[in-house]
Amino acid sequence: MIAQRLLGILEDVGGVLGSFVVAPEGALLARAMPAEYDAANLELTASRVARVLQCSAANGVQAEDGVFDFGEGKLWIREFLRGYLCVLCRANVDMRSLRLTARLVARSLPAEL
């Protein structure tokens, strides 16, 4: 599938472990994650990400991207036309390279995921 190949491009950025795409309502649309992250847990994470961002928007906080930092790693999230691009990475990821690559990947994702 083209979406998984595009998501795989993000792994070329040093420190990126995997990525997934979430619809605005919280559905998991695509993923390219290591095997230890099963579908059920990713679906739960997807719905939580969408709820947090919807709550932020409802409270007047509009962000194009954001980072959930949990010590040894980060979950970086970028809003785009079809939802949210979520990237799991190590704490030492090069954020500039990640943002540039993610922008290209998000623009290239097909309309129907």
Closest by CA position to 66, among listed 50, 81, 42, 47: 50
Q: How far is CA 29 from the centre of its chain?
A: 11
Per DSSP bridges, beta strands 28-32 and 73-80 are unpaired
> Per-domain residue ranges for the chain?
2-108
pLDDT, position 10: 97
Summarised one tens digit per residue, pLDDT across range 101-110 is 999 999 999 8
Stretch among 12-21, 48-57, 81-90 having the lowest mean pLDDT: 48-57
pLDDT, position 111: 81
As a whole number of Å, the end-to-end CA separation of the chain is 9
Q: Which CATH architecture has domain 2-108?
A: 2-Layer Sandwich (3.30)
Question: Considering the chain, what percentage of its residues have pLDDT values greater than 70?
Answer: 100
More confident residue, 58 or 45: 45
Summarised one tens digit per residue, pLDDT across range 2-34 is 899 999 999 999 999 999 999 999 999 999 999
